[in-house]
């Protein structure tokens, strides 16, 4: 049996959503949402805006987020096994990547329910390509820790690997993070990708010291991806 073979009943669809610009939904993603019997959302209010933008209405919405995924995922998968077509969308990007979705896939595998993953927007890959840093090999570490010691360890490991390291970071901690990077690797190439696909999308490239000076002078706002490569 293949890992995703149709067994019986309905199906679970994991549908990526725009990371900023609402126009970045694929035609296939819209068709799946239109055809779903119900839609599970990380945040029903936020998803409601996206669905309305694309003219998708009348669908029952159910919340599936980090606090209830362990309990809710088996319920949704059981409903799919009974014949429902259920789509899951997280707040932005690919479900399961620093978002809910992993437990939903595990429940599908455990209960023998077919699931399908659609391609779509990814802040990780967009930031990687736009950074100008080497993209033949990279490591994604999710959100950096709020604890400076763990942040330092994670970034040091990424720099030591020789691959391009990619992390999500809060604007409230970006200055502190750049201070750590300036100590760890003064000559490393750094990029901070900010507000991707939105009106004020920017890529800041340079050394950690150069970017630290910029953010100290201009402040930090918006969602951020920080990338680093120690080079040769």
- The mean pLDDT of the chain is 93
Read off the pLDDT of each residue in 55-63 and give the average, rounded to a whole number. 94
pTM of the model: 0.87
So what's the pLDDT on residue 231? 79
Task: Look up residue 61 and give its two tokens.
Answer: 């919405």
Split at pLDDT 50, 70, 90, the class of 219 is confident
Q: Bridge partners of 204?
A: 192
- What the chain holds in terms of domains, given with CATH numbers, is 11-117 (3.40.1010.10), 123-229 (3.30.950.10)
What burial letters (b/e) apply to 80-107, b meaning 16+ CB within 10 Å?
bbeebbbbbbbbbbbbbbbbbbebbbeb
So what's the pLDDT on residue 108? 95
Q: How are beta strands 189-194 and 202-206 bridged, if at all? A: antiparallel
So what's the pLDDT on residue 9? 64
Backbone angles phi, psi at 219, to 5 degrees: 80, 175
Q: Is pLDDT of 6 > 70?
A: no
So what's the pLDDT on residue 232? 59
Nearest to 90 by CA among 39, 22, 127: 39
Q: Is pLDDT of 58 > 50?
A: yes
Q: What is the per-residue pLDDT across 110-139, written as a single tens digit (0 to 9) for each?
A: 999 999 999 999 999 999 999 999 999 999
So what's the pLDDT on residue 90? 93
Q: What is the per-residue pLDDT across 83-104, written as a single tens digit (0 to 9) for each?
A: 999 999 999 999 998 899 999 9
**Contact present, 154 and 191 (Cβ < 8 Å):** no
Split at pLDDT 50, 70, 90, the class of 165 is very high
- Percent of the chain at pLDDT above 70? 96
So what's the pLDDT on residue 84? 96
Split at pLDDT 50, 70, 90, the class of 152 is very high
């Amino acid at each position: 049996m293949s890992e995703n073979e149709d067994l019986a009943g309905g199906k679970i669809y994991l549908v990526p959503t725009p990371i900023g610009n609402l126009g970045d939904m694929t035609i296939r993603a819209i068709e799946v949402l239109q055809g779903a019997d119900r839609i599970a959302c990380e945040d029903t209010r936020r998803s409601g805006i996206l669905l309305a933008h694309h003219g998708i209405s009348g669908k029952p919405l159910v919340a599936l987020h980090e606090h209830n995924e362990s309990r809710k995922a088996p319920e949704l998968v059981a409903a799919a096994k009974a014949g429902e077509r259920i789509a899951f969308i997280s707040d932005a990007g690919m479900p399961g990547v620093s978002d809910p979705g992993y437990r939903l896939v595990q429940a599908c595998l455990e209960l023998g329910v077919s699931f399908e993953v659609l391609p779509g927007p990814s802040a990780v890959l967009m930031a990687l390509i736009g950074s100008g840093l080497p993209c033949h090999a990279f490591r994604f570490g999710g959100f950096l820790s709020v604890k400076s010691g763990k942040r330092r360890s994670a970034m040091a490991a990424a720099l030591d690997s020789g691959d391009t390291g990619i992390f999500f970071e809060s604007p409230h901690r970006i200055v502190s993070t750049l201070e750590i990077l300036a100590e760890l690797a003064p000559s490393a190439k750094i990029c901070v990708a900010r507000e991707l696909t939105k009106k004020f999308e920017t890529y800041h490239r340079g050394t950690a010291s150069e970017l630290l000076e910029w953010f100290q002078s201009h402040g930090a706002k918006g969602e951020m991806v920080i990338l680093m490569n120690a080079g040769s």
